[in-house]
Structure 1
Amino acid sequence: MLEFAQAPQSNRRTLFVDVILPLAISRNYTYRVPFEMNDHIAIGKRVVVQFGKSRLYTAIVAGVGELAPEKYEAKYIIEILDNKPIVTERQLQFWHWVAEYYMCNEGEVMNAALPSALKLASETKVTLNKEYEFDKTLLNDKEFMITEALDLQPELTISDIVKLLGQKTVMPVLKSLFEKNIIHISEEVSERFKPRRKTFITLHPSYNNQDNLRELFEILERRAPKQADAVLAFIKLSRQQKTVTKAELIEDSGAGDGSIRALIDKEVFIAEERAISRLRYDEDEEAISTFTLSDVQQTALEDIQNQFASKDVVLLHGVTASGKTQVYIRLIEAVIATGKQVLYLLPEIALTTHIIERLRIYFGGSIGVYHSRFNDNERVEVWQKVLQGEYKVILGARSSVFLPFQDLGLIIVDEEHETSYKQYDPAPRYNARDAAVYLANMHKGKVLLGSATPSFETYYNARTNKYGLVELNERYGGVQLPLIEVVSIAAETKQKTMQSHFTSVLIADVQQAIENKEQVILFQNRRGYAPVLMCRVCAYTPKCINCDVSLTFHKHTGKLHCHYCGYKEDSPSICPACGSTHLEYKGFGTEKVEDELSVLMPDARLARMDLDTTRSRNSLQNILNDLEDKKIDVLVGTQMVAKGLDFADVTVIGIINADSLLKYPDYRANERSFQMLAQVSGRAGRRGKQGKVVIQTYDPSHRVIRQVIENDYADLYSTELEERKGFNYPPFYRIINIDIKHQNPEILYNQAEYLANELRKHFGERVIGPEAPLINRIRNYYIKSIMLKFERENTSMAKAKALIRETITQFQTTKLSKGSIVQPDVDPY
Structure 2
Amino acid sequence: MKYADVILPLPLENSYTYSIPADLEQAVIPGCRVIVHFGKKRYYTAIVMEVHERKPDSQYETKEIYALLDATPVLRRPQLRFWKWIASYYLCKLGDVYKAALPSGLKLESETAVTYNEAFEADGPLRPNEQVVLDAFAGVLKLTVSELEKKTGLRNVVPVVASLMAKGAVEVSEELKRGFAPKMQTFIRLSEAYKDVETHGRASLQSVFDELKRAKKQELLLVCFLDLSHALNPALTRELSKKELLENSHCSPATLDGLLKRGVLESYEKEVGRLQVPVCRLQTPSPLSPAQEKAYGEIHDVFGTKDVCLLHGVTSSGKTEIYIRLIDEVLKMGRQVLYLLPEIAITTQITERLAKLFGDKLLVYHSKFSDNERVEVWNRLLHTDGPMLVLGVRSSLFLPFKDLGLIVVDEEHENTYKQQDPAPRYHARNAAIVLAGMHGAKTLLGSATPSIDSYFNATTGKYGLVELTTRYGDCLMPEILPVDIKELRRKKIMKDTLFSPILVEKINMALERGEQAILFQNRRGFAPVIECKSCGWVPHCVNCDVSLTYHKFRNELVCHYCGYKIQLPRQCPECQSPELRTMGFGTEMVEEEIDTLFPAAKVERLDFDTARTRTAYERIIADFEKGKTQILIGTQMLSKGLDFGNVSVVGILNADSLMNFPDFRAHERAFQLMVQVSGRAGRRDKRGTVILQTSGPDHPLIRMVERFAYKEMVRLQLGERSMFRYPPYYRLIVIVLRSRNDSILQELSVLYADNLRRRLGERVLGPVTPPITRVQTLHIRKIVLKIEIAAAIAPVREILEAVHAEMQRYLPFKQLIVHYDVDPA
Shorter chain as normaliser: what TM range?
A: 0.7 to 0.9
Structure 2 counterpart of 1:592, from 589, 596, 610: 589
CA separation of 1:483/1:158 partners in 2, compared to 1, >3 Å: closer, same or farther? closer
Name the residue aligned to 2:79: 91
Structure 1 counterpart of 2:408, from 408, 412, 420: 412
Question: Contact 1:34–1:77 at 8 Å: present in 2 too?
Answer: yes
For 1:565-584, what aligned pairs fall within 5 Å after superposition?
565-584=562-581
Structure 2 counterpart of 1:665, from 649, 662, 665: 662
Name the residue aligned to 2:155: none
CA distance in 2, matches of 1:180, 1:617: 20
Letter aligned with residue 467 of structure 1: Y
Whether 1:799 aligns to 2:787 is: no
3-state SS in 2 of match to 1:487: strand
Question: Contact 2:112–2:175 at 8 Å: present in 1 too?
Answer: no
3-state SS in 2 of match to 1:734: strand
Name the residue aligned to 1:22: 9
Question: Contact 1:181–1:377 at 8 Å: present in 2 too?
Answer: no
Name the residue aligned to 1:311: 306
Whether 1:470 aligns to 2:466 is: yes
Name the residue aligned to 1:817: 813
Name the residue aligned to 1:757: 754
String of CA shifts for 1:211-238, please: whole Å, max 9, x gaps: xxxxxxxxxxxxxxxxxxxxxxxxxxxx
CA distance in 2, matches of 1:430, 1:478: 38
Letter aligned with residue 367 of structure 1: L
Name the residue aligned to 1:10: none
Deviates more, 1:695-704 or 1:608-617: 608-617
Let me know the Cα RMSD of the aligned residues: 2.7
Whether 1:357 aligns to 2:345 is: no
CA separation of 1:158/1:717 partners in 2, compared to 1, >3 Å: closer, same or farther? closer
Task: Please give the TM-score of this superposition, normalised by the length of structure 1.
Answer: 0.80
Structure 1 counterpart of 2:372, from 377, 402, 425: 377
CA distance in 2, matches of 1:426, 1:792: 26
3-state SS in 1 of match to 2:738: strand
CA distance in 1, matches of 2:285, 2:413: 30
Whether 1:334 aligns to 2:322 is: no
The CA deviation at 1:644 is: 3.0
Question: Contact 2:348–2:618 at 8 Å: present in 1 too?
Answer: no
3-state SS in 1 of match to 2:305: coil
For 1:289-688, what aligned pairs fall within 5 Å after superposition?
289-388=284-383, 389-390=385-386, 392-498=388-494, 500-615=497-612, 618-688=615-685
3-state SS in 2 of match to 1:352: helix
Name the residue aligned to 1:214: none
String of CA shifts for 1:497-549, please: whole Å, max 9, x gaps: 22601111101101111111111000011111111111233322111111000
Question: Contact 2:30–2:48 at 8 Å: present in 1 too?
Answer: yes
Deviates more, 1:55-64 or 1:574-583: 574-583
The CA deviation at 1:123 is: 2.3
Question: Contact 1:519–1:652 at 8 Å: present in 2 too?
Answer: yes
Question: Contact 1:122–1:158 at 8 Å: present in 2 too?
Answer: no
String of CA shifts for 1:232-263, please: whole Å, max 9, x gaps: xxxxxxxxxxxxxxxxxxxxxxxxxxxxxxxx
Question: Contact 2:524–2:588 at 8 Å: present in 1 too?
Answer: yes
CA separation of 1:509/1:400 partners in 2, compared to 1, >3 Å: closer, same or farther? same
3-state SS in 2 of match to 1:818: helix
CA separation of 1:167/1:44 partners in 2, compared to 1, >3 Å: closer, same or farther? farther
Name the residue aligned to 1:256: none
CA distance in 2, matches of 1:329, 1:518: 29
The CA deviation at 1:276 is: 9.5
String of CA shifts for 1:81-108, please: whole Å, max 9, x gaps: 1111111121011101000111111111
CA separation of 1:640/1:180 partners in 2, compared to 1, >3 Å: closer, same or farther? closer
Question: Contact 1:277–1:354 at 8 Å: present in 2 too?
Answer: no
Letter aligned with residue 369 of structure 1: V
String of CA shifts for 1:281-332, please: whole Å, max 9, x gaps: xxx978x635100111111111111111110100000001111111011111
CA separation of 1:153/1:92 partners in 2, compared to 1, >3 Å: closer, same or farther? farther
The CA deviation at 1:614 is: 1.6
The CA deviation at 1:156 is: 6.1
Structure 2 counterpart of 1:48, from 12, 35, 39: 35
Structure 1 counterpart of 2:69, from 73, 78, 81: 81
CA distance in 1, matches of 2:405, 2:627: 41
CA separation of 1:401/1:559 partners in 2, compared to 1, >3 Å: closer, same or farther? same
Name the residue aligned to 2:160: none
Q: Which consecutive unaligned segments of at least 5 residues does structure 2 have? A: 114-138, 149-171, 186-249, 251-274
CA distance in 2, matches of 1:813, 1:118: 38
Letter aligned with residue 598 of structure 1: D
The CA deviation at 1:351 is: 2.7
3-state SS in 2 of match to 1:533: strand
Question: Contact 1:123–1:157 at 8 Å: present in 2 too?
Answer: yes
CA distance in 2, matches of 1:436, 1:750: 39
Question: Contact 2:340–2:394 at 8 Å: present in 1 too?
Answer: yes
Question: Contact 2:42–2:174 at 8 Å: present in 1 too?
Answer: no
The CA deviation at 1:810 is: 2.8
String of CA shifts for 1:162-185, please: whole Å, max 9, x gaps: xxxx999978xx57x824659xxx
Question: Contact 1:423–1:431 at 8 Å: present in 2 too?
Answer: yes
CA distance in 2, matches of 1:646, 1:275: 23
3-state SS in 2 of match to 1:178: coil
Name the residue aligned to 2:181: 178
Whether 1:786 aligns to 2:765 is: no
CA distance in 2, matches of 1:78, 1:154: 24
CA separation of 1:592/1:579 partners in 2, compared to 1, >3 Å: closer, same or farther? same
Aligned length: 690
CA distance in 2, matches of 1:631, 1:362: 26
Name the residue aligned to 2:224: none
CA distance in 1, matches of 2:754, 2:341: 41
Q: How high is the sequence identity, in percent, across the aligned residues?
A: 48
Name the residue aligned to 1:61: 48
3-state SS in 2 of match to 1:315: strand
Question: Contact 2:411–2:641 at 8 Å: present in 1 too?
Answer: no
CA separation of 1:170/1:453 partners in 2, compared to 1, >3 Å: closer, same or farther? closer
CA distance in 1, matches of 2:12, 2:69: 23
CA distance in 2, matches of 1:65, 1:93: 19
The CA deviation at 1:154 is: 11
CA distance in 1, matches of 2:591, 2:182: 47
The CA deviation at 1:368 is: 0.9
Question: Contact 1:743–1:780 at 8 Å: present in 2 too?
Answer: yes
The CA deviation at 1:275 is: 8.7
CA distance in 1, matches of 2:614, 2:312: 36
Name the residue aligned to 2:717: 720
Deviates more, 1:447-456 or 1:577-586: 577-586
Question: Contact 1:559–1:570 at 8 Å: present in 2 too?
Answer: yes
3-state SS in 1 of match to 2:111: coil
CA distance in 2, matches of 1:541, 1:826: 36
The CA deviation at 1:761 is: 1.4
Question: Contact 2:407–2:442 at 8 Å: present in 1 too?
Answer: yes
The CA deviation at 1:587 is: 0.8
Structure 2 counterpart of 1:105, from 88, 93, 109: 93
String of CA shifts for 1:115-166, please: whole Å, max 9, x gaps: 10111010299xxxxxxxxxxxxxxxxxxxxxxxxx9899868999xxxxx9
Letter aligned with residue 448 of structure 1: L
CA distance in 2, matches of 1:517, 1:444: 50
